[in-house]
């Protein structure tokens, strides 16, 4: 299960890093044309959330620094994908909401998997290894 979670995390991280960065590369007029009724500042906010969420899927587990952030990042991305699914239903055919729905289910899978099934191990630090031996003159 750990390997499957890492694979899904890596794929989702690549997807969200790409999608979030595109919200800053594309002109705001182009993005608002594709999504009517969405202000540019909100699309930039979603872009920041996607980039941070993509990093949050990988870095805590890879560096073993606060690995409890991985399920939180995945849950936050699942919430974003719920919104994307609703918007997909509103502005076009139902088939346009299928991809955000699948991505949201995968993000929810990572959130549950890293929270309950196979959580990341905490970084174990051994302070004894860091202390230099004392030399006492006799």
| Domain map (residue ranges) of the chain | 2-121
Other CB atoms closer than 10 Å to residue 110's CB: what's the count?
A: 25
Question: What pLDDT shows up at residue 36?
Answer: 75
Question: What pLDDT shows up at residue 127?
Answer: 60
CB within 8 A of 59, min separation 6: which ones?
65
Is the pLDDT at 129 greater than 60, yes or no? no
Please say whether the beta carbons of 10 and 62 come within 8 A: no
Please say whether the beta carbons of 1 and 117 come within 8 A: yes
Tell the burial category of 56 from Cβ atoms under 10 Å away from its Cβ (0-12, 13-18, 19+). Answer: buried
Other CB atoms closer than 10 Å to residue 103's CB: what's the count?
A: 21
Is the pLDDT at 94 greater than 90, yes or no? no
Tokens of 27: 């002109």
Question: What pLDDT shows up at residue 31?
Answer: 87
**More confident position, 28 or 13:** 13
Mean pLDDT of the region 53-61: 96
């Amino acid at each position: 299960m750990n390997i499957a979670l890492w694979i899904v995390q890596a794929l989702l991280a690549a997807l969200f890093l790409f999608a979030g960065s595109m919200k800053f590369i594309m002109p705001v007029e182009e993005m608002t044309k594709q999504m009517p009724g969405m202000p540019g500042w909100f699309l930039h906010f979603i872009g920041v959330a996607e980039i941070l969420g993509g990093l949050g899927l990988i870095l805590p587990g890879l560096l073993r620094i606060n690995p409890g952030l991985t399920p939180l990042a995945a849950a936050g991305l699942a919430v974003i994908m719920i919104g994307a699914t609703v918007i997909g239903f509103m502005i076009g055919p139902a088939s346009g909401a299928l991809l955000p729905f699948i991505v949201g289910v995968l993000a929810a899978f990572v959130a549950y998997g890293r929270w309950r099934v196979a959580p990341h191990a905490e970084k174990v630090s051994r302070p004894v290894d860091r202390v230099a031996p004392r030399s006492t003159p006799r």
